[in-house]
């Protein structure tokens, strides 16, 4: 018998029929004697609809009120799920975030969880209930309703699993796991049995949208056993997000190829080569709350240098306008920009112990005549900025170069077979 937190995404609760299916599934788990905490999202499309309503009243809705509205989608699904479980003969009780005591800070629309009160959940579990907790929401110390940012019910589930010391947190979604890359780009993409937290973080921040990034950070920090599974297939063990184990020789060097189209590049040309320049360029960008990703400063010649960086494409116009004013101030020659770029990355903890990954990657791209505009590396990732029109080609070529279409030699999980066994209802 285990305590399991199960999160069901919007498509998994998109209709009352699907909600009934979830209840049937939970009934089988209960029959095995497991304690279950269910954390649903709103029905698919519902959060968008609610935010749309708010925007019809005001183009820039008051964030506090927006959260009051946006949080209601999950309140509907918890009630429906509880009722569907009653119909299966189960005891079940629903709670909003506020009711269970999910305490957050007061950053409306992207609040952070500070604490979760275990009390009510423990009591309801002890009374034999399936506990259904609304995802995506909490309340601040003043009792204002808050939401955790789009996709935030993943984080709700992981935080609940951490607070309740659950045996496993299962994220049921419309894909059956985490893939080596987007199967729409590479049909040979393969589902991974395991991926480490760090790799998953990179994949998520690079645009693989399976899990909200914050939920992965949370799971890594609190060592929550996290698994992504399909809500439409009963079979399959999904993908387990693991802690890296040192010295696992079977570990693939590269676990996945991630990519992001939402990139734009800005270059300040002819910047005086002197201390403080990077700060003078990027300071105002940071002040405007624009995230900067890659940064490149060339070697100075004639006492000037070129300074390039990438931002999210939606921030491009804003960043360009800021740079125009910066240009005057620092006496730069010109500003150029490009919104037709993208970023492609090879991700894998295995590259820590295997040299030559970068050259293999660059070689594969060179063979296709793809020009690398920017390069950045970390311990477990190599990213390149290239022209957007080469994105699919680059991803396909790299997927092949690193042999990702073939299953790894050993099926032994990163944490050993024993620990990766899924808890399944039989
Ligand atoms: N319903 C919220 C959203 O659409 C939260 C979630 O689905 O995780 O963003
Ligand atoms: Mg989601």
Domains of the chain in start order, with CATH, are 3-249 (3.40.1160.10), 257-401 (3.30.2130.10)
Q: From the alpha carbon of 136, which atom of ligand 1 is closest?
A: 5
- Model confidence at 413, pLDDT cuts 50, 70, 90, reads very low
The answer to whether 148 and 114 are in contact (CB under 8 A) is no
CB 350 less than 6 A from any atom of ligand 1: no
CB 97 less than 6 A from any atom of ligand 1: no
Return the ligand number nearest the Cα of 135: 1
Q: What's the CA-to-centroid distance between 62 and ligand 1, angstroms?
A: 19
- pLDDT at residue 251 tops 70: no
Q: From the alpha carbon of 148, which atom of ligand 1 is closest?
A: 5
Q: What's the CA-to-centroid distance between 224 and ligand 1, angstroms?
A: 21
10 is in an annotated binding site: yes
Among 90, 113, 112, residue whose Cα is nearest residue 102: 113
Question: Looking at the whole model, is its pTM more than 0.75?
Answer: yes
CB 110 less than 6 A from any atom of ligand 1: no
Q: Which residue's CA is minimally distant from atom 6 of ligand 1?
A: 151
179 is in an annotated binding site: yes
Of 354 and 270, which is predicted with more confidence?
270
Q: Which residue's CA is minimally distant from atom 4 of ligand 1?
A: 47
CB 171 less than 6 A from any atom of ligand 1: no
What are the angstrom distances between the C-alpha of 21 and each of 16, 53, 82, 210, 234? Answer: 9, 30, 12, 22, 11
Q: What's the CA-to-centroid distance between 309 and ligand 1, angstroms?
A: 31
Which of 44-58, 74-88, 173-187 comes out lowest in average pLDDT?
173-187
CB 147 less than 6 A from any atom of ligand 1: no
CA 139/CA 14 separation, integer angstroms:
25
Q: What's the CA-to-centroid distance between 50 and ligand 2, angstroms?
A: 16
Return the ligand number nearest the Cα of 44: 1
Q: From the alpha carbon of 48, which atom of ligand 1 is closest?
A: 4
CA 19/CA 400 separation, integer angstroms:
40
Of 292 and 302, which is predicted with more confidence?
292
CA 181/CA 256 separation, integer angstroms:
6
Percent of the chain with pLDDT over 70: 93
- pLDDT value of residue 121: 98
Q: From the alpha carbon of 149, which atom of ligand 1 is closest?
A: 9
Of 147 and 236, which is predicted with more confidence?
147
User: Using the 8-state DSSP alphabet, how is residue 313 labeled?
Assistant: G
Q: What's the CA-to-centroid distance between 158 and ligand 2, angstroms?
A: 13
- pLDDT value of residue 312: 94
Token pair for residue 81? Answer: 């799920």
Return the ligand number nearest the Cα of 175: 2
- pLDDT value of residue 415: 33
- Please, what is the average pLDDT of the chain? 91
Q: What's the CA-to-centroid distance between 416 and ligand 1, angstroms?
A: 33
- pLDDT at residue 370 tops 80: yes
Q: 270's torsion region: left (phi>0), alpha (psi -120 to 50) or beta?
A: left
- pLDDT at residue 422 tops 60: no
Instruction: Encode pLDDT of 20-36 as tens digits.
Output: 999 999 999 999 999 99
- Model confidence at 208, pLDDT cuts 50, 70, 90, reads low
Beta strands 239-242 and 194-196: pairing type?
Answer: parallel
Beta strands 113-116 and 102-104: pairing type?
Answer: antiparallel
47 is in an annotated binding site: yes
CB 135 less than 6 A from any atom of ligand 1: yes
Q: Which residue's CA is minimally distant from atom 9 of ligand 1?
A: 150
Instruction: Encode pLDDT of 61-103 as tens digits.
Output: 999 999 999 999 999 999 999 999 999 999 999 999 999 999 9
The predicted model gives 3-24 an average pLDDT of: 97
Sorted by sequence, the CB contacts under 8 Å of residue 266 that are 6+ apart come out as 308, 309, 310, 311, 316, 319, 320, 323, 335, 336, 337
246 is in an annotated binding site: no
Helix and strand numbers (H, E) in the chain are 14, 18
The answer to whether 220 and 164 are in contact (CB under 8 A) is no
- pLDDT at residue 300 tops 80: no
405 is in an annotated binding site: no
The answer to whether 239 and 193 are in contact (CB under 8 A) is yes
Percent of the chain with pLDDT over 90: 81
- Model confidence at 246, pLDDT cuts 50, 70, 90, reads low
184 is in an annotated binding site: yes
Q: Which residue's CA is minimally distant from atom 8 of ligand 1?
A: 151
The predicted model gives 185-208 an average pLDDT of: 87
Q: What's the CA-to-centroid distance between 150 and ligand 1, angstroms?
A: 5
The answer to whether 221 and 161 are in contact (CB under 8 A) is no
User: Residue with structure tokens 């935010």?
Assistant: 51
Return the ligand number nearest the Cα of 150: 1
Return the ligand number nearest the Cα of 211: 2
The predicted model gives 35-52 an average pLDDT of: 98
74 is in an annotated binding site: yes
CB 42 less than 6 A from any atom of ligand 1: yes
């Amino acid at each position: 018998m285990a305590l399991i937190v199960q999160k069901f995404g919007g498509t998994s609760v998109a209709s009352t029929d699907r909600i009934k299916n979830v209840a049937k599934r939970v009934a089988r788990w209960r029959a095995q004697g497991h304690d279950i905490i269910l954390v649903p999202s709103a029905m698919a499309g519902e959060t968008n609809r609610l935010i749309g309503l708010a925007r019809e009243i005001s183009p820039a809705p008051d964030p506090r009120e927006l959260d009051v509205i946006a949080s209601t989608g999950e309140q509907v699904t918890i009630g429906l799920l509880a009722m569907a479980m009653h119909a299966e003969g189960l005891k079940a009780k629903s709670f909003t975030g506020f009711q269970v005591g999910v305490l957050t800070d007061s950053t409306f629309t992207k609040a952070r969880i500070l604490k979760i009160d275990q009390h009510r959940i423990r009591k309801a579990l002890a009374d034999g209930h399936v506990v259904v907790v609304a995802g995506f929401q909490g309340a601040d110390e003043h009792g204002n309703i808050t939401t955790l940012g789009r996709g935030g019910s993943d984080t709700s589930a992981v935080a609940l699993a951490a607070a309740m010391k659950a045996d496993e947190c299962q994220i049921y979604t419309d894909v059956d796991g985490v893939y080596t890359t987007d199967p729409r780009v590479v049909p040979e993409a393969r589902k991974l049995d395991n991926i480490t937290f760090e790799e998953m973080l990179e994949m998520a921040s690079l645009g693989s949208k399976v899990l909200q990034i914050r939920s992965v950070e949370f799971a890594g920090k609190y060592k929550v056993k996290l698994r992504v599974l399909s809500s439409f297939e009963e079979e399959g063990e999904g993908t387990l997000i693991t802690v890296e184990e040192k010295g696992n020789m079977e570990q693939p060097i590269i676990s996945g190829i991630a990519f992001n189209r939402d990139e734009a590049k800005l270059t300040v040309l002819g910047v005086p080569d002197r201390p403080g320049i990077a700060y003078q360029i990027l300071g105002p960008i940071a002040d405007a709350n624009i995230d900067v990703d890659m940064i490149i400063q060339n070697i100075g010649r004639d006492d000037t240098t070129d300074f390039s960086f990438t931002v999210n494409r939606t921030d491009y116009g804003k960043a360009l306008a800021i740079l125009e004013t910066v240009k005057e101030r620092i006496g730069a020659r010109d500003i150029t920009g490009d919104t037709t770029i993208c970023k492609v990355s090879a991700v894998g903890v295995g590259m820590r112990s295997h040299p030559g990954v970068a050259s293999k990657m660059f070689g594969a791209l060179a063979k296709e005549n793809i020009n690398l505009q920017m390069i950045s590396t970390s311990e477990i990732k190599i990213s390149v900025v290239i022209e957007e029109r080469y994105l699919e080609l680059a991803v396909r070529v790299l997927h092949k170069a690193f042999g990702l279409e073939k299953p790894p030699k050993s099926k032994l999980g990163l944490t050993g077979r024993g620990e990766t066994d899924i808890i399944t209802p039989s």
